[in-house]
Amino acid sequence: MASLSLSLYSQSTPSLFNSTCKPLLPSESPISLRKTPLHFLHSQNFGRNSSFRVSSSSPTISSPKPTSSGVSPPVTETKVARDGNEFDWFSNWYPIAPVCDLDKRVPHASRVLGLDVVVWWDKAEGKWQVFDDKCPHRLAPLSEGRIDQWGRLQCVYHGWCFGGSGNCKLIPQSPPDGPQVHTSRKACVAVYPSLEQNGIVWFWPNPDHQLKDISSKKSPPFISELDDPSYTHLMGMRDMPYGYEVLIENLMDPAHVPYAHRGLMRTSSNPRPVDREGGRPLDISILSQDISGFLANQEFGYGKFIAPCIFYVSAFSGSTNESISQEPAADDHKPQRPAADYHKPERLFLLIFVCIPVSPGRSRLIWSFPRNFSVWIDKLVPRWIFHLGQNLILDSDLYLVHLEELKIMEIGQSNWLKSCFVPTKSDALVIAFRNWLRKYCGGQIDWGTKFHGYLPPTPPKEQLMDRYWSHVVHCSSCRAALKYLKALEICLQTLSITLIGVVAAFWQSIPSTVARILLVSAAILSSLASRWLADFIYKNFYFHDYNHALI
């Protein structure tokens, strides 16, 4: 562990201290980011005539060498020609968390694209601020700090306080009659542009002061259904123990649903032949593709990838095709709704997945499934109930995808198309994503200078599939449910012990045999209910294994 050296304060002339404070530029920050010109390449309007080619060719690779920790590094990747276009990972908006899961009273730690940030509510500005998660004093994490009575973010290591613009408001150790060291530019915290949209906090991963108004030039993709009061708006978030690449391709793969999620998700009936689990041919075709993503036609609607984070699937609906701003205008890109359905009330349903690169081998998923029918169900059923089922679905293929990623890293990302046999149309979306990654990103995420592609070692399965630290601790609904369920478990245990004590102490004094039986039965039932509830809590809030061989 690197030690921090103690810097002695020396007297300086007042000219060295600024009356105003600007955040440090990327080149001056300990976390160095590439300083690139702004290319507003996140257009969501895909060209009608853009082509999409699948190539099995790949560059040669070198063999991995084991490290001292026993974790093999990934195969060295060779950059692929990208026809003059290169996707800039640091010139896009990234989601951090749903607003409903952020507590305004405390700062929140998060990692996105390898950057450690802290999210906190700035009462003075009335908005969520996103800072670099380190105090400029001794680099302590600001996310472990607090928001003081004046609404400032305070580092609890030495008490330094910061305003919403990143400027230092107070250095308690500075003499009041000495130089105003808190106004020094070096006392500032790097501030990332941030905004709230669709119930999610987004940030721009470059703290350059010149980009503070970037939202006026380029904003995150807007999903109208998430702000429409006639739709449900339930969201969930979970950290996944595998990378962004395999997270997205797993969500783009409908063919695995009847197998990896057998018994958990219903599949629609189809007259074509199916096997015992429900597998059948799927007709998926790519309509258009460019640096911003791609659009695909599917049997039940369409799917769209908006780089770098959003993938959504829409059912048949005329208006749903306009749900995300700047949709393709070409009518031939819109799936046709069956004629027999036009006399029915329009029932709109979307699957929205927001996929966030965290670090190599780590990703984060925010999901929402807005619909404009049966909305009353979500108003009556608590949000955490829905999360139980959604987490079980994520668990059912989590271990598979984690091990799959290890094998992909062994062969090298650039060898994916060469090593994987994908002969059917059901893999069209996955192939499209891998080709987009290869063509515009050189087959890999740009982590700046922070990571070199190493995957973390595989922990025990109970730790790998842990629900508490990956979901519950971040979810306001599940945290509250866990608290109350644990209290109920203790109440049941207490009731059981109390009833047993009453029966033992007053057995002879209880005149009725029926009353004795009822007291004993109540004690037994309370004990059994407590044990059942303890098992329910463990499986749904901590760890639930999914054994496919026994399903």
- Residue 220: both structure tokens together: 């995150």
Measured between alpha carbons, how far is 139 from 156 in angstroms, rounded to an integer? 12
Task: State pTM to two decimals.
Answer: 0.78
Residues whose CB falls within 8 Å of the CB of residue 51, separated by 6 or more in sequence, listed in order = 289
Q: Please, are residues 214 and 34 in contact by the beta-carbon 8 Å criterion? A: no
Least confident of 154-158, 224-228, 427-431, 543-547: 543-547
Q: What is the pLDDT of residues 94-138, one digit of tens each?
A: 999 999 999 999 999 999 999 999 999 999 999 999 999 999 999
> What pLDDT, on a 0 to 100 scale, did the predictor assign at position 198?
94
**What 3-state class would DSSP assign to 247?**
helix
User: What digits encode the pLDDT tens for the residues 76-102?
Assistant: 344 444 455 889 999 999 999 999 999
Tell me the average pLDDT across 168-173.
92
- Asked if residues 204 and 307 have their Cβ atoms less than 8 Å apart, the reply is no
Tell me what pLDDT residue 374 has.
87
**What are the tens digits of pLDDT across the range 200-247?**
999 999 999 889 889 989 999 999 889 998 898 899 999 999 999 999
Phi, psi of 212, deg, nearest 5: -65, -25
Tell me which of 117 and 460 has the higher pLDDT.
117
Task: Judge contact between 294 and 436, C-beta under 8 A.
Answer: yes
| pLDDT band at residue 181 under the 50/70/90 scheme | confident
Residue 304 · residue 297 · CB < 8 Å: no
- Roughly what angle, to the nearest 10 degrees, separates helices 513-541 and 476-505? 150
- pLDDT at residue 22 is higher than 80: no
**Phi/psi of residue 266, nearest 5 degrees:** -85, 145
Task: With residue 479 as reference, give the H or E element that holds it.
Answer: helix 476-505
Region for 301 from its dihedrals, namely left if φ exceeds 0, alpha if ψ lies in -120 to 50, beta otherwise: left
413-430 average pLDDT score:
87
pLDDT above 70: residue 2: no
pLDDT for position 34: 35
d(CA 491, CA 526): 9
Q: Has residue 57 got a pLDDT over 70?
A: no
Q: What is the pLDDT of residue 54?
A: 33
